Amino acid sequence: MEITITDVHKRYGDVVALDGPSFEIPSGSTFGVLGTNGAGKTTLFELLVGHDRPDSGTIEVGGIDVAEAGHQVRERVSFLPEHAGFPSSMTGREVLDVHARIRGLDARAERIADALETVGLHDAADRAVSGYSNGMGRRLGLAAALLGEPPVLVLDEPTAGLDPRGVATFHEIIERIDRETDATVVLSSHVLSEVERLCDEVAILEAGELRAVGPVNDLRTTAGDGVTVVLHAADDRSRLLDTVQGWGEVADAGDSIEVTCSRERAFELLSELESDMVDRFEVREPGLEAAFHDALADDAEQPAEVSAR
């Protein structure tokens, strides 16, 4: 289900939370919203799920204005806030049953079983929530959001505070939802590599303004012409390090030597190196981090926009 955000403004007293961002989130995509603390991500999500109203502008989900939709929003959009708590004495299954009843869902037992299976909590469904780890609690929150098979799923910092295993498990769940459903998933994160892995497109906010929007791959390529050549010495490491001086920004990374330069210079460097000097190499393209920092440094009035559509 497509989401259209048009010139949305929101203030809290003297604080400008959103200052006119406009962009579209394609139906069925996994879309990331990036920004520093205070950029407006959480405010945008609060408006998107109908918890608050914009001062001006509109947010439409499937062509319906969220601010005017009332209960229709809950039928279309499910929300996993950054801090979701549940009664510690209840079991996971009981928590989901309460959520299913509140939403007036039929076939509750089947829906609950499906949600538990999706998030990998089937075996822990009848344990008290007090015994859940942080990661299990986040997955229970996601299961609650998945009840009713919502066409739009909004996740605010879904992996915040999780250990590496919990993050990996959560990533696998999101990727499975992307593969097996038509849901539009919108998530925010401070972890750029997470957005790079999970998302098709991304919007970058700063101080409530839209700084960049577009497909992740396209934003990466607009971040500049620089690449990093990672070289692993075959034998004489000192000789290789001396040879690459002057070809770009050289960094000694311990087990490798990294040279950051233009693409053209990278190919020239690789052709100049003697075959007995290098055991193996790789060329790293600019990541989303470069695009993010470029967007925050850009003082242009119009946001950078790239589109594959």
CA distances from 159 to 25, 188, 205 (A): 21, 10, 20
Residue 248 three-state SS = coil
CA dihedral 144, 146, 150, 156 (to 10 degrees): 70
In the prediction, which pLDDT does 298 show?
60
In the prediction, which pLDDT does 309 show?
33
In the prediction, which pLDDT does 215 show?
92
One of 1.10.287.90, 3.30.450.20, 3.30.70.1150, 3.90.1300.10 is the CATH number of 225-285, namely 3.30.70.1150
Q: Give the 3-state DSSP-derived string for 250-263, with helices as H, strands as E and coil as C.
A: EEECCCCEEEEEEH
Provide block-wise average pLDDT over 10 residues at a time, the chain (309 residues).
Answer: 96 95 96 90 93 94 89 82 86 94 87 91 93 90 88 90 85 91 91 88 93 87 77 90 92 89 89 88 80 71 46
Contact 195, 32 (CB under 8 A): yes
In the prediction, which pLDDT does 289 show?
76
In the prediction, which pLDDT does 165 show?
85
Neighbours of 184 (CB within 10 A): 25
List the chain domain ranges: 3-220, 225-285
**Fold of domain 3-220:** Rossmann fold (3.40.50)
